[in-house]
């Protein structure tokens, strides 16, 4: 039987995992997390909850919110040169930071779109769509990678399918989840 309160710890620090289970937490999820991982945890939680309608409805509601987004919800709305543009994440190859602006580089090698938004904010918006931060000034779509090669100083050069070459810094190396040993 579950306790009256179950705690799920979400952290970007692997060391917290050991601590989580020392305190008998229900689950530990490492960031960045996939919606499927959180859904699995919520499903497990729903199985042990007492069958009170409020609790079941709450978990069901959370799972619906985490369901895959519909195509119309996958649009990114940007202001560009006085126009409002509607892009899907699939159209974006990589994003570069420029102060309080981001430069979105599209797949078709069209001109870049300059948009007033921080890179960190854009990163959070694109994370669910297979984008990853590789440098303090660059976010790329994993599917756009052609090759990754090491440099002498421990960094890497990431070459994209559109020919762009970007630095993968040591700080963001862990974001590449198994692509680099």
The domain spans of the chain are: 8-65, 72-176
Query: What digits encode the pLDDT tens for the residues 83-121?
Result: 888 888 989 999 999 888 999 999 866 678 889 899 999
Encoded tokens for 49: 């909850």
Under a CB-based contact definition with an 8 Å cutoff, are residues 90 and 131 in contact? no
Class of domain 72-176: mainly beta
Query: Which pLDDT score is estimated for 10?
Result: 82
Query: What digits encode the pLDDT tens for the residues 40-82?
Result: 888 787 777 666 555 666 766 777 666 665 544 578 888 877 7
Query: Which pLDDT score is estimated for 71?
Result: 46
Helices 35-48 and 53-65: crossing angle in degrees, nearest 10, is: 170
In 46-170, DSSP assigns E strands to: 76-80, 83-87, 92-98, 101-106, 113-116, 131-135, 138-141, 145-150, 156-160, 165-168
Higher pLDDT, 16 or 151: 151
């Amino acid at each position: 039987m579950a306790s009256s309160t179950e705690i799920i710890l979400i952290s970007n620090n692997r060391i917290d995992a050991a601590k989580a289970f020392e305190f008998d937490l229900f689950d530990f999820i490492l960031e960045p997390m996939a919606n499927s991982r959180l859904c699995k945890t919520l499903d497990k939680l729903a199985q042990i909850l007492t069958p009170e309608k409020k609790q079941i409805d709450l978990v069901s509601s959370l799972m619906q919110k985490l369901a895959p987004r519909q195509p119309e919800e996958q649009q990114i709305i940007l202001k560009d040169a006085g126009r409002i543009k509607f892009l899907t994440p699939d159209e974006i190859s990589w994003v570069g930071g420029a102060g309080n602006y981001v430069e979105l580089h599209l797949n078709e090698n069209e001109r870049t779109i300059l948009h007033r938004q921080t890179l960190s904010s854009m990163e959070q918006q694109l994370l669910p769509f297979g984008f990853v931060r590789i440098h303090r000034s660059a976010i790329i779509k994993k599917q756009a990678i052609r090759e990754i090669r090491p440099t002498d100083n421990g960094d890497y050069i990431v070459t994209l399918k559109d020919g762009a070459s970007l630095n993968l810094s040591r700080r963001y190396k862990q974001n590449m989840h198994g692509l680099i040993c």
